[in-house]
Structures are given as C-alpha cells and as structure tokens.
Amino acid sequence: MPSETPEIPPDAKPDKGRAPIGEAQVWLTSMGLAFGILMSVGLIGLILVRGVEVFWPKKVALVELAAGSEATLGETRLLAGEIVLEREAGAVDDRHTEIQLFLGNKDAYGFAFRFLRKDDITGTTYPEGLITAERLEYGDAIFYPGEIRTASGTVIPADDPAFPASLRDLVEEGNDRRDEIKAIEKGQIGAINRQLAALDLEKKTTSDPTEIDARVATLQSEYETLAKKAGSLRAKQSENVLAYTTATGEERTQPVTDIVSFYYPNALSFFERVGIFLGHLWTFLSEEPREANTEGGIFPAIFGTFVMTVFMSLLVTPFGIIAAIYLREYAKQGFLVRCVRISVNNLAGVPSIVFGVFGLGFFIYFVGGWIDHSFFSAKLPTPTFGTGGIFWASLTLALLTLPVVIVATEEALGAVPRGVREAALACGASKWQTIQRIVLPSATPGILTGVILAMARGAGEVAPLMLVGVVKIAPELPINGIFPYLHPEQKFMHLGFHIYDLGFQSPDSEAAKPMVFATTFLLIVLVVVMNLAAILLRNHLRKKYALASF
C-alpha cells in the first residue's frame, strides 16, 4: 500500500533561514573558549616577554637634559642609562610622555631608576665607550672606564688597546678566587663546624672527654689554617682597582674583583648580544641569589620547589589511593560514607592558610617537638624537627591536595567496567586480587590525572609554606653531598615565595619587577614540565591497559 504524503498547509512558509536549535549556545560556548585561550596565551606571552628581556643586554643611552630640568643630578645635564619603558603621564590638560631610565650606580646616586619627561630631553646618543658592569653589591654600574691599577703598581689606561682584555682577565681571576674562597669557607670549614657541633653533643653524654678534647683541638688547628688561607685569598680580592667616571662626571674607584662581568653595550654585535643573553640566563638558572634576591640566580628556589613537589606527590598518592579504594570497594554505602564524601569535598574548599596553621601546630609543634624530645634531646633547646622544614611543608601540602586525589581515584575506580570485575571473580580471584591486578591497573590513568592536578595546585601554593618551612634565603639545599644526603628537616626556598618576596618585600621594587616576571615564567615552566612528565606516563599506561576509561 503506498505511503501517504502529509499535506502541507497552503499558507505555510519555507523554513530556509531558521538556524538549528541550540546554535546560538554553541557559538557562545566557542566564543567563551576562544576568549579564555586568548587570555591565557596573552598572559603567558606578556610574562615571557617581560621575563626574557631581563637577560637581553640593552643599549645605554646618553641623555642630555634641557637647562633647568628637575631631573638633572647636580650641575651636569647628562645622564646615562638603559631606557626601560615609555608611558604617558601628567594631568589631562598637560599630558606628556615620560621615559624610565635605568641609571645603575646605586652607590653613587642612591637610586637606580629615574623618570624623565621626554620634553626635557634635548639629545640622545649611544657612545661606544660606556661600560655596563654587573657587581656583587649595589647592582649594575654604568660608567666611562678610566684606568686599572694593579697590585704590582702597573697602570693600564682605558685608551690602551690591551685594556678590555686585561680587565676581563682580572675579572675572571677574581671570580675563580671567589669560588675558591666559597669552597674553603662553605665546604671545608663548614665540614669542620659540623664535626665540632657533633663532638660538642658527644661531650655532653660521655664520662671521659679527654679524647674528645684532643679531636676538638685538631679540628680547631685545621680550622685556623683554612681560615688563614681564606683570609689571604680575600685580601687579594682588593688589590686591583678600577677607576671610572660616571656620566654625571663623578670619579669613583671599584675593586676589580667585585665585578662579576662587564661588556660594552653600544659596541656589541647581534651574536655577541645573544652570547651575553645566554650567559645571563645560565647565571639565573644555576647560581644563588644575592642583593636581596634581586640579583644573581634562583637555583635554590628551583631545586626546593621541585623536591617539595616530588615529596608531596609521594606522600599524597598512597594515602589518597588507599582512602578511595576503601570508600569505593570496601565501605558499606550508607549515611556514614556519604558524610565522609561530603567532608572530603568540603575539605577541598578550605583556605590553604588553614592547612598551614594546622601543619604548624600539629606537625611542627606536636609531632616535631615529640621527635626532638625523644631522639634529639641533646640538641635542645635548638630544635631539629620542631621547626619548619621541607618534610613538614610537603606533608602539609599533601593534606591540602588529598581531596583531589581521593575524588579522582574514586571516579577512576568507578569507571572500570563491572563485567571485568565479575570475570575476574568468576575465574577464582579474590576481591583484593581483582582490585590489585585488574581494577587498579585499569584505573591508573585516572589516578594519575588526580596526581597531576594535585601537583599543579601544590606547586603554586605559598600561604601555608610561609608557616611550615619556606625561607627567603636557604644556606643549604635539602638534598646535598653532606651525609645523610637527604635532610627532611632543612628549610628551603620556593619559587612562589620568591615571587612574593620580590614583589612585596624587596627594598628596590623597580629593580625587582623584571625578576618577578622571569621567576613567574620559570615557575609556570617547571609546573608544566612536571605535569607533562606525568601526562606522558598516564598516556603510556592508558595504551597499556586498554580497559581504562580515562
């Protein structure tokens, strides 16, 4: 029987221009996603550009100011410095453009930055004779070189063709001697001090201190020998002197060995700038900070952040997995389990500073104090574990991120097909054997997703760390060459706290601002690298266990 075609009313109009239902919502969703991606890329791009430009050697401008300008220093109208930025400033009816000039020579001027009205500048040149020198103290110096006065009485003027090479050799010699002094004072003398401290504790518990006194005398003799050697090396650091003149005409002197590096900023080729850029970047990544963290490197903060994140992951993962297995596989589902799940979810919303207060009160004062009284009573009143350290910080952040791992693990366990469990049980496997050999391997990618989220959150936390172990400057790394090599009681540096310290606690906020961007970008890179490593491991396990749904 032929099918009947429905009749179309004669007044019906064709629906050609009508959009499918829900298309507007799809466009709004896609626009929101695109906007979010653009904001993220823009923010990271800004941080990258402002962070990388810290290491690029900029040209130094010699600026001549108009007579009567308020920006002049003393009687001279000349200022030399790096142009940092330009901005529009002033009142609405008298708007003008300002430039920020990095002058350096903080010891001479009392400040390193100065804003100038562009209208007050009558001329700008870039003389090739200017030097930018990185120093151990007072930041960079920008000057015209005068002469080198060596310990032997030789004077090398700046117009001598051998001046740049001689200055470079003396600077490298001073850097090598500084490293030697550091090896003696921090390495050899530090080892003697640790032995003396151990003997002092041993002397409190022995009945015959004669042998200990003899060992102490031997160590004291070695200490005096090394201290004398370090003192003689330190005396040589001030033998060679560099005389120079600032752009304002002030003549000054500087021990050559107080200069870390130098270059002629206006005479560099592109490839020479790239070489200096890479050198600055390596210094930033490999050395310790100095000058209130605004100069030098941040290697201790990088290392401390990495070690703390790894410790936190190792602590939170087993506890989170065990709790999730019990809640999902063993606990009888009912009111009590529902209350536990609600508590876990609410725990994820507790402010992080509350975890810091809990870590301080319970882990440090209670547990750490008990450990000190039980095992390190000879060192009291100096605490060992009864003070902040990287272990207590990792344990505190493990509690902070525990709900993330529990929830992710429960979801991963629940995603394993029921038929797989029943098949294992039908083959004679016990419940634990089924969980251990079937369910957990299949849920591992989802579990790692929770661990990745926990790592990302824990690595960026700062507030609780300020109470449980992070410091501005850490004298030793938590993992080093000193026996027993791993020091869980050691205080540490952290990139997040380093950013806070630079941005809000630095005595020179303008000098610290570029370092804030560089450190922020490095923290982002470190978190991304650790997350990528976990994601690659998760993807590998996902391919291995095809039953996984995550």
Q: What is the pLDDT of residues 198-218, one digit of tens each?
A: 888 888 777 777 888 888 899
- Say yes or no: 464 and 503 in one domain: yes
In a domain, 446, yes or no: yes
Q: Indicate if the pLDDT at residue 270 is higher than 80.
A: yes
Structure token digits, residue 301: 């903060």
Secondary structure element (H or E) that encloses residue 85, with its range: strand 78-89
3-state secondary structure of 67: coil
3-state secondary structure of 261: strand
Indicate the burial class of 61 (C-beta count within 10 angstroms; 0-12, 13-18, 19 or more). Answer: buried
Mean pLDDT across the stretch 139-148? 92
What are the C-alpha distances in Å from 442 to residues 411, 432, 529?
A: 12, 15, 25
Q: Indicate if the pLDDT at residue 168 is higher than 60.
A: yes
Res 382: pLDDT: 86
For residue range 248-264, list pLDDT tens digits in order: 888 999 999 999 999 99
Res 13: pLDDT: 55
Candidates 146, 136, 142; CA nearest to 175 is 136
DSSP H helices, 134-267, are 163-182, 189-205, 210-236
What band does 1 get if pLDDT is binned at 50, 70 and 90?
very low
Q: Indicate if the pLDDT at residue 4 is higher than 50.
A: yes
Secondary structure element (H or E) that encloses residue 124, with its range: strand 121-125
What are the C-alpha distances in Å from 363 to residues 356, 381, 479?
A: 10, 18, 21
What band does 546 get if pLDDT is binned at 50, 70 and 90?
low
What band does 5 get if pLDDT is binned at 50, 70 and 90?
low
In a domain, 33, yes or no: no
In a domain, 30, yes or no: no
Res 544: pLDDT: 72
- Say yes or no: 370 and 513 in one domain: yes
Mean pLDDT across the stretch 492-507? 87
| End-of-domain residue from the set 257, 286, 315 | 286
Res 315: pLDDT: 93
Res 549: pLDDT: 45
What band does 347 get if pLDDT is binned at 50, 70 and 90?
confident
Structure token digits, residue 19: 């959009």
Contacts within 8 Å (CB) and 24+ apart, 513-519: 514/50, 514/51, 514/53, 514/54, 515/54, 515/293, 515/294, 517/47, 517/50, 517/51, 517/54, 518/51, 518/52, 518/54, 518/55, 518/284, 519/51, 519/298, 519/301, 519/495
Q: Which letter, b or e, does each residue of 175-190 get, where b requires 16 or more Cβ atoms within 10 Å of its Cβ?
A: eeebeebeebbeebbe
Helix axes 509-544, 299-325, angle to 10 degrees: 40
- Distance from the Cα of residue 379 to its chain's centroid: 32
Could you tell me if 126 and 266 are in contact, meaning their C-beta atoms sit under 8 angstroms apart?
yes
In a domain, 347, yes or no: yes
Q: Which amino acid is at 490?
A: Q
Secondary structure element (H or E) that encloses residue 7, with its range: none
- Say yes or no: 371 and 414 in one domain: yes
Query: What are the φ/ψ torsions at residue 200 (nearest 5 degrees)?
Result: -65, -40
Res 84: pLDDT: 84
Could you tell me if 542 and 550 are in contact, meaning their C-beta atoms sit under 8 angstroms apart?
yes
Domain range for residue 165?
151-239
- Distance from the Cα of residue 165 to its chain's centroid: 35
CA angle 496, 525, 50 (to 5 degrees): 80
Q: Indicate if the pLDDT at residue 548 is higher than 50.
A: no
- Say yes or no: 102 and 205 in one domain: no
Number of CB atoms found within 10 A of residue 314's CB? 11
Range with lowest mean pLDDT among 65-79, 419-433, 474-488: 65-79
For residue range 432-476, list pLDDT tens digits in order: 899 888 888 888 888 888 888 888 888 888 999 999 989 988 878
Could you tell me if 81 and 105 are in contact, meaning their C-beta atoms sit under 8 angstroms apart?
no
- Say yes or no: 510 and 537 in one domain: yes
DSSP letter (8 states) at residue 492: B
Mean pLDDT across the stretch 265-287? 92
Could you tell me if 323 and 379 are in contact, meaning their C-beta atoms sit under 8 angstroms apart?
no
Mean pLDDT across the stretch 359-363? 94
In a domain, 372, yes or no: yes
What band does 502 get if pLDDT is binned at 50, 70 and 90?
confident
Could you tell me if 177 and 238 are in contact, meaning their C-beta atoms sit under 8 angstroms apart?
no
**Cα gap 149→239, rounded to integer Å:** 8
Q: Indicate if the pLDDT at residue 152 is higher than 50.
A: yes
What band does 89 get if pLDDT is binned at 50, 70 and 90?
low
Q: Indicate if the pLDDT at residue 224 is higher than 80.
A: yes
Instruction: Write the DSSP assignment of 522-534 as a string of letters.
Output: HHHHHHHHHHHHH
- Say yes or no: 445 and 364 in one domain: yes
- Distance from the Cα of residue 380 to its chain's centroid: 33
Could you tell me if 81 and 102 are in contact, meaning their C-beta atoms sit under 8 angstroms apart?
yes
- Say yes or no: 416 and 341 in one domain: yes
- Say yes or no: 425 and 535 in one domain: yes
In a domain, 8, yes or no: no
Res 550: pLDDT: 42
Q: Which letter, b or e, does each residue of 120-145 get, where b requires 16 or more Cβ atoms within 10 Å of its Cβ?
A: bbeeeeeeeebbbbbbbebbbbbbbb
Could you tell me if 289 and 372 are in contact, meaning their C-beta atoms sit under 8 angstroms apart?
no
- Say yes or no: 159 and 195 in one domain: yes
Could you tell me if 184 and 281 are in contact, meaning their C-beta atoms sit under 8 angstroms apart?
no
Candidates 104, 86, 83; CA nearest to 96 is 86
In a domain, 424, yes or no: yes
- Distance from the Cα of residue 240 to its chain's centroid: 36
What are the C-alpha distances in Å from 318 to residues 270, 356, 447, 531?
A: 52, 21, 11, 18
- Say yes or no: 515 and 398 in one domain: yes
Indicate the burial class of 429 (C-beta count within 10 angstroms; 0-12, 13-18, 19 or more). Answer: middle
Could you tell me if 279 and 261 are in contact, meaning their C-beta atoms sit under 8 angstroms apart?
yes
CATH code of the domain covering residue 447: 1.10.3720.10
In a domain, 26, yes or no: no
Q: Indicate if the pLDDT at residue 21 is higher than 70.
A: no
Q: Indicate if the pLDDT at residue 65 is higher than 90.
A: no
- Say yes or no: 162 and 226 in one domain: yes
- Say yes or no: 412 and 460 in one domain: yes
Mean pLDDT across the stretch 357-367? 94
**Cα gap 524→519, rounded to integer Å:** 9
Candidates 130, 135, 92; CA nearest to 112 is 135
For residue range 335-346, list pLDDT tens digits in order: 888 888 888 888
More confident residue, 295 or 395: 395
Candidates 344, 303, 329; CA nearest to 450 is 344
- The per-residue pLDDT of the chain, averaged, comes to 86
**Cα gap 405→534, rounded to integer Å:** 14
CA angle 101, 103, 106 (to 5 degrees): 135
Res 279: pLDDT: 92
Give the total number of structural domains in the chain: 3
